[in-house]
Amino acid sequence: MAAVEKPSSKGQAWFCTNGLPSDIVIEVDDMSFHLHKFPLMSKSLKIHQLITEQESHHPSAARIQTSGIEETEQEEDEIVEEHCHISFTDFPGGSETFEMAAKFCYGVKIDLSASNVAFLRCAGEFLEMTEEYSEDNLISKTERFLSQSALKSIKDSIKALKSCERLMPLAETLAITQRCVDSIVSRASSADPALFGWPVNDAGTNDATTRSSLSKQILWNGIEAGGRRKNVPRGDSWIEELGLLSMPFFKQLIFAMREADLSPEIIESCLMYYAKKYIPGVSRSTRKPSTSSSSSVASEAEQKELLEFIVSNLPLEKSSKSSTATRFLFGLLRTANILNASEACRDALEKKIGSQLDEATLDELLIPSYSYLNETLYDVDCVERILAHFLAGLEERNAAAISGDDEVSRSPTLMLVGKLIDGYLSEIASDANLKPEKFYSFALSLPEQARLFDDGLYRAVDVYLKAHPWISEAEREKICGVLDCQKLTLEACTHAAQNERLPLRAVVQVLFFEQLQLRHAIAGTLMAATEEPGRLSAAMGGEEVEEDGEIVRGAHDSRSTWRVAVRENQVLRLDMDSMRTRVHQLERECSSMKKVIEKIDKTGPQGGGGWRASLGKKLGCKFKTQVCDSHESTVVDRRKGRVQQQQKQRNHPHQE
């Protein structure tokens, strides 16, 4: 055309001011386009057919409607030069897309992008703007841009797929959606997840704080100071674009990823990011949510549907970013309880959490109890089921191992979980509604190999007894029965021996095993002390060789070694003296306890309640009514003889 068209918009009308009066009005939605026949007919076969049909039936200028719109009478104030009137009610993309298509017909240059190419492709199909009808038409132009530009990038493919939401079902018929999905899957399969980071952190990547912290890690030559950044999503991550997709398109993309056997880590990353964006409460971050996520909050029904879909498609493999994934899984589990998700969904979550329970933290295990059926503050039953899943998986791994010896069963993973569960028991022990039976069964659910020492379990028992002073003596003894006194350290034994909340039977057992530990420690010290003077260490730099009791080489180094040995002997003797003193005190306490018990047996029940007070005065602590009589008189007599012999040796050490 000779003149450059200058379109303008006035209210709900759109005019093309090229100096010529318009001879056709096309209505799209609520917008009226006052245009000219020739530019439109030269590009669109459909408009050409409609105008030709209208002119053949109404040569004096009339109206023509399409897509089921009834004819309306011509308005009185309509311009006389307007001879045709066409209405498109189901035009793909609406009036905005038709405006771009009209500009294309007038020869105005339009900027194609990943966001509008699908709209223009469908508009060209609707208007029949084919290459056969006109050279270099809209269909061929958009198809060329799709294949050569938009589908060459994951981000642009996601944007094009997003635009198809308003173009269904025509976009599906033209295979635009499928081509976008295939492009995303094929390019994501060759992407390394480590290159785009882990895009599930709670904060965005465009804030000034993140940018400044990242810039400090870059050296002058561009090398990162701390190696590859971990757990920091980059601003160009294509996974962040997935938040643009609606749920149906997101589901279609995940199904395609699974069919293509994509990396489980990539699929899990997509699911985690999408869930964090559209399911409030999954992340318990204290940071402010972004405006984009807060403006697109789905309904509870949609959240529940999305949550169940995400859980059903989570890979079974343990993620390499397991600590981050475990935190996310606990967030999903809390949300599933709130939304009352299906039983299968919650069971799948508990099973997956159990497979990586060693990566969990105590704060994550403290799941609030949302059901009115549970009396406790925290959902203890849920954690118990998670622990059962973990132990079942551990048994399977042990069964698959070559040998099932103690080293396999006492794995570092099991030890970590044992420490975690002991901490959880200490936290829930203060709950007044926690029944003794529940505490007892939960404490015994861990195998014996999970605890190297029972100090953490002893702390939980102590907290429970302190928070439940009203339970009976039998229940106290049952609670203390979860402890293995042989696995208590000396510090824990010392505390337990003076703990007034423990039953007397438990205190006596603790004292007995404390003596055994002290005796073993003294025996080991004596053996080390007797072996040390007869040997000369070569660790000081010299080489000593003993021949008939004489040192033939390294005299200087041997003298320094002797000095070190003498000092070590002195330290060992001091430690032995302190241990002997403690043993003597414990033996005296047990002897006095034995005498009091014998006196009680002689007096019988006539003694009334005074025997408990006398027992407390003699032992210096308040004991309950039950006593564990585990020492015979012969054992006490032999112990007295050994004590006298040890005192005589300490008073005359040079008479040996």
pLDDT tens-digit readout, 63-85: 444 444 344 444 434 444 446 88
Residue 147 lies in a domain: yes
Q: Does residue 581 have a pLDDT over 70?
A: yes
Residue 313 lies in a domain: no
Q: Which domain holds residue 158?
A: 12-56+83-180
DSSP SS3 for 367: coil
Q: Does residue 544 have a pLDDT over 80?
A: no
Question: What pLDDT does 530 receive?
Answer: 62
Which residue, among 609, 613, 615, 612, has the nearest Cα to 594 in the 3D structure?
615
| Average pLDDT over all residues of the chain | 74
Question: Residue-wise over 328-350: b if at least 16 C-beta within 10 A, else e?
Answer: bbbbbbbbbbebebeeebbebbb
Q: What pLDDT digit, counting tens, does each position of 265-299 carry?
A: 889 889 999 999 999 878 755 344 444 444 456 78
Question: What pLDDT does 253 receive?
Answer: 95
Q: Name the residue with higher pLDDT: 233 or 556.
A: 556
Task: Point out which residues pair with 546 in neighbouring strands.
Answer: 551
Spatial separation of the C-alpha atoms in residues 591 and 585, rounded to whole Å: 10
- Name the percent of the chain lying above pLDDT 70: 64
- Token readout for 429 is 């022990």
Residue 45 lies in a domain: yes
Question: What pLDDT does 344 receive?
Answer: 93
Question: What pLDDT does 16 receive?
Answer: 64
What average pLDDT does this structure show over 104-127? Answer: 93
User: Worst-scoring range by mean pLDDT, 28-37, 163-172, 423-432, 537-546?
Assistant: 537-546
DSSP SS3 for 642: helix
Cβ(272)–Cβ(326) below 8 Å? no
- Token readout for 494 is 């010392």
403-412 LR contacts (CB < 8 Å, sep 24+): 406/449, 409/447, 409/449, 410/449, 410/450
Q: Name the residue with higher pLDDT: 343 or 593.
A: 343
Cβ(25)–Cβ(85) below 8 Å? yes
Q: What pLDDT digit, counting tens, does each position of 442-492 carry?
A: 999 998 888 888 889 989 999 999 999 998 989 988 988 888 888 888 888
pLDDT class for 552, splitting at 50, 70, 90?
very low
User: Worst-scoring range by mean pLDDT, 184-193, 225-234, 371-380, 644-653?
Assistant: 225-234
What average pLDDT does this structure show over 338-355? Answer: 92
Question: What pLDDT does 75 receive?
Answer: 43
Q: Name the residue with higher pLDDT: 639 or 84.
A: 84
Give alpha helix (H) positions in 604-632: 610-619
Domains: count for the chain? 1
Spatial separation of the C-alpha atoms in residues 584 and 606, rounded to whole Å: 33
Q: Name the residue with higher pLDDT: 396 or 346.
A: 346
pLDDT class for 204, splitting at 50, 70, 90?
very low
Question: What pLDDT does 311 receive?
Answer: 93
| CATH number of the domain to which 21 belongs | 3.30.710.10
Q: Does residue 181 have a pLDDT over 50?
A: yes
Q: Name the residue with higher pLDDT: 287 or 259.
A: 259
E-strand stretches of 40-168: 84-88
Q: What amino acid is encoded at 637 in this protein?
A: D
Q: Name the residue with higher pLDDT: 450 or 544.
A: 450
Residue 145: partners with Cβ closer than 8 Å, 6 or more residues away: 112, 117
Q: For residue 610, what are the CA distances in angstroms to 545, 593, 616, 625?
A: 69, 15, 10, 12
Q: What pLDDT digit, counting tens, does each position of 145-167 carry?
A: 999 999 999 999 999 999 999 99
Question: What pLDDT does 582 receive?
Answer: 73
pLDDT class for 631, splitting at 50, 70, 90?
very low
Q: Give helix 504-531 / helix 473-480 axis angle, nearest 10°.
A: 30
Residue 559 lies in a domain: no
- Calculate the CA 548 to chain-centre distance: 68
Q: For residue 418, what are the CA distances in angstroms to 395, 425, 460, 465?
A: 15, 11, 13, 21
DSSP letters of 128-147?
A: T--TTTSTT-HHHHHHHHHH
User: Worst-scoring range by mean pLDDT, 228-232, 235-239, 596-600, 638-642?
Assistant: 228-232
Residue keyed to tokens 């899957």: 185
* Residue 175 backbone zone (phi > 0: left; psi -120 to 50: alpha; other: beta): left
Spatial separation of the C-alpha atoms in residues 216 and 212, rounded to whole Å: 6
Residue 16 lies in a domain: yes
Cβ(199)–Cβ(233) below 8 Å? yes
Q: Name the residue with higher pLDDT: 240 or 401.
A: 240
How many CA atoms, within 13 angstroms, populate the side-chain half-sphere of residue 70? Answer: 2
pLDDT class for 315, splitting at 50, 70, 90?
confident
pLDDT class for 348, splitting at 50, 70, 90?
very high
Question: What pLDDT does 17 receive?
Answer: 62
Other beta carbons within 10 angstroms of residue 143's beta carbon come to: 16
Cβ(63)–Cβ(71) below 8 Å? yes
Q: Does residue 217 have a pLDDT over 50?
A: no
Q: What amino acid is encoded at 200 in this protein?
A: V
pTM of the complete model: 0.67
Question: What pLDDT does 171 receive?
Answer: 94
Q: Name the residue with higher pLDDT: 646 or 421.
A: 421
Cβ(579)–Cβ(587) below 8 Å? no
Residue keyed to tokens 């006095």: 592
Question: What pLDDT does 507 receive?
Answer: 81
Cβ(122)–Cβ(93) below 8 Å? yes
Cβ(281)–Cβ(200) below 8 Å? no
Residue keyed to tokens 């025509």: 170
DSSP SS3 for 59: coil
Q: Does residue 174 have a pLDDT over 50?
A: yes
- Name the percent of the chain lying above pLDDT 90: 33
Residue 480 lies in a domain: no
Residue 128 lies in a domain: yes
Residue 641 lies in a domain: no
- Token readout for 194 is 């480590």
Q: Name the residue with higher pLDDT: 323 or 43.
A: 43
Q: Does residue 399 have a pLDDT over 90?
A: no
Question: What pLDDT does 494 receive?
Answer: 81
How many CA atoms, within 13 angstroms, populate the side-chain half-sphere of residue 551? Answer: 17
Q: Name the residue with higher pLDDT: 79 or 343.
A: 343
Question: What pLDDT does 649 receive?
Answer: 54
DSSP SS3 for 602: helix
Q: For residue 124, what are the CA distances in angstroms to 33, 66, 114, 171, 178?
A: 17, 17, 16, 12, 19
Spatial separation of the C-alpha atoms in residues 511 and 492, rounded to whole Å: 11
pLDDT class for 219, splitting at 50, 70, 90?
very low
pLDDT class for 501, splitting at 50, 70, 90?
confident
